[in-house]
Each structure stands twice: as structure tokens, then as C-alpha cells.
Copies of this chain bind each other. A is one copy, B any other.
């Protein structure tokens, strides 16, 4: 599919690695040849791969945990500002192909709002939303976890809603405290295999059940990894959030968690290239609530794109909505006609979807059914 938009794509500045050493995530050969080089790069290998895999636009964000991993408020705020300025500088070199999410320190909700306003005010900076990497760490031992369903954060949500800036909630590692208790003896489960989804899933459900989306009805929240297992459990979640048992739960009494999806809550496919999971999510929350993403460079661009372009068994229309159009409806600045990115909704034909042979060089003739793509290769396995 041509014209794809990818939303959860990491980028880093060297200062970012002070808060979190990513080298442990990636011994050579595990995630590409050089994770750090890939994180620092924008216009080189990254763009080349976008070109050859039908990715028109990447929305970049500072690699996790970013300011959320910095316990000192001043240091966290300075990291956010530094990262935002550096990202704006990179993006502005190629606004047709790149956009960005604003990083924020969440120690002080008012300051977070101010930094967001500063970045948002100038469209040419190229920002289209916010990234928050799960809880804000605080305390000398890094063990204090600040969650954004606490009342004081309404000051921040108010600004995000007012500006129309969608907030992407991204996972991060456990605190030392939790890590010691449960994850230390099984570190392989503590991160992306399981723990990431546990923590961010609880956080986003905390925000929803705290009534944040009710108080700010135009606010949009996005989560990755096919919804951090929430779509699969949605029946049980709604069934068990029984108001007779929990009369003090602040979420609107006449709503279900299910009801926010597609309106204020959205998921992306980042790092979870599973067709059964995607089909399940479509049945539970609907294709309008799902957006394509890769999670580069922690995932391979061709891997995510080959899956999406050729393996996913959904209708043409759903494919282009998930691959492109839904992102324009959620991250509206991408499509802002007075804006800098200037993207427009497209149909299946414009995106080359439907008919595996619908290739640019032979546009007037389509052929269907070639899983082993090229006709002249049908006698040998690729």
C-alpha cells in the first residue's frame, strides 16, 4: 500500500540515553545492526526504507522513556525542551515526510501545558500531537510513579483538548521497586514481551475510568501495540467494572469503556503484526479506531509493511483507512489544509490496494491472486 502513515516511530538525541541505556535492548543483530544509529537517523536509512516500503509519512517521537524517566523536574523539563527543539529542526527539513510528537515533563501539569503551547503555536515546527511514556518517575530512588489519572493532571488534559493535540501513551520499563518484586527473576517478561502492556494498559484504563475523557470530551488518546491487549479483554473489562460494586468509579455511569473507542480512544498496530489480533480488534472496536504503525527502529520497516500490505486479510477500504485515512482524522494537523504537511485522504486505487499486480508500471491492468507476487516468478518459490 502506497501512502501509509506510521505514528509510533522512535527517534533519539544523544542526551536521551542518559536517562536510559538502550544498548541492553539490542545486542548487535537483534534489532538491526545498530539500534543507536537508527534512532539518531532521520533522513538517511530511515527515509530510504520509507520510500521502498510505501510509507509516505512518519510521525517521530523521542525514544522512551524520555522525560518520564528523569526524576528531577528541572532536568526533565530541560530534556523535553531540548528534544522538542531538535525534533522540530529535523522535521522542518522535510515536512512532507515527517511530523513529530511533543515530549513533555509531567512533573508539573501546568508546565507541561505551557511547553505544549510553545511547540504547538508555530505550525512550521511540524508537531501533530503529544507523546507521554507512561508514568512520570520521581523520587530519589526513582520509585515514585505519577499517573495522569490523578486530579491535578486535569490542568494538562485541558490544554491538550483545547489545542486539539492527540496524546499518545507509550509504554516504559518498570520502576526499581516493582522490578525487584516481580520482574527481576524473569527479566525477559519485564519489557516488551509483557510488562510494557501491563503497565500502560493499567494507566490508560485508569485515565478512562477516572473520567478524564468525560471531562474533556474532545480529547483523543492513542495507544500502540494493537491496544495493549485491551480489545481482547473488552467484554470482561466492561462486564467487571460493575457500578453497583464500584459506585465511586468516576467514569460516566451511562458509558462503557467500549464506547470511547473510535471516538476518543484509538489503537495502533505498532510492533504487533498479528492478523488474528487485528481481526479481533476490528470486531471489538471497529476499523475506524485502528491505525497503522511500525515502532521503528525496534521493529523492522519491511517486516511491518510486508505484513500490512500483503498478509492482512481485510477489505480494501479498511486497509486504506487503517493504513492512512484514520490517522488524518485523529491527528488532524497532518491533513490541515493551511498546515505544513498537507496530506489528504485517499482511496484504495490511489494507494495501489486491491489486485496484487496493481503496480505503477502497468497501471492499466490488474491481476489478482498472486501471493507469490510476480507472474514470472510463479514457478519458483521466493
Contacts and interface: CB of A to CB of B under 8 A. Distances in A.
Interface of A: 25-27, 29-30, 32, 45, 49, 52-53, 145, 147, 149-150, 177-178, 181-182, 185-189, 191-195, 197-198, 201-202, 205-206, 209-210, 225-226, 229, 231-246, 249, 253-256, 258-259, 261-262, 271-277, 279-280, 282-289, 300-307, 310-311, 313-318, 348-349, 354-355, 358, 363-372, 375, 377-382
Given A150-B185, A195-B202, A232-B233, 16 more contacts: A52-B381, A53-B381, A188-B209, A188-B241, A193-B237, A229-B232, A243-B365, A253-B365, A262-B317, A275-B313, A277-B284, A279-B283, A285-B315, A286-B316, A305-B381, A311-B311
Given A198-B202, A209-B188, A256-B355, A369 B280 contact: no
B256 A368 contact: yes
16 contacts: A26-B245, A53-B381, A145-B181, A185-B206, A198-B198, A198-B202, A232-B274, A235-B276, A258-B355, A282-B282, A284-B315, A287-B318, A302-B379, A303-B372, A306-B382, A311-B313
Contacts of A202: 182, 186, 189, 194-195, 198
A134 to B, nearest CB: 12
B382 A382 contact: yes
Number of copies: 4
A31 B278 CA distance: 33
A54 to B, nearest CB: 9
A244 B27 contact: yes
A32 B378 contact: yes
A223 B367 CA distance: 25
A243 B249 CA distance: 42
A75 B46 CA distance: 61
B279 A279 contact: yes
A273 B371 contact: yes
A45 to B, nearest CB: 8
Given A49-B379, A53-B381, A235 B277 contact: yes
A177 B49 CA distance: 47
A186 B198 contact: no
A197 B315 CA distance: 23
Nearest to A193: B240
B30 A316 contact: no
A313 B258 CA distance: 13
Nearest to A300: B378
A59 B304 CA distance: 37
Given A246-B188, A367-B242, A368-B256, A236 B225 contact: yes
A245 B28 CA distance: 9
Contact of A254 (B30, B311, B363, B372): B363
A236 B192 contact: yes
Nearest to A38: B379
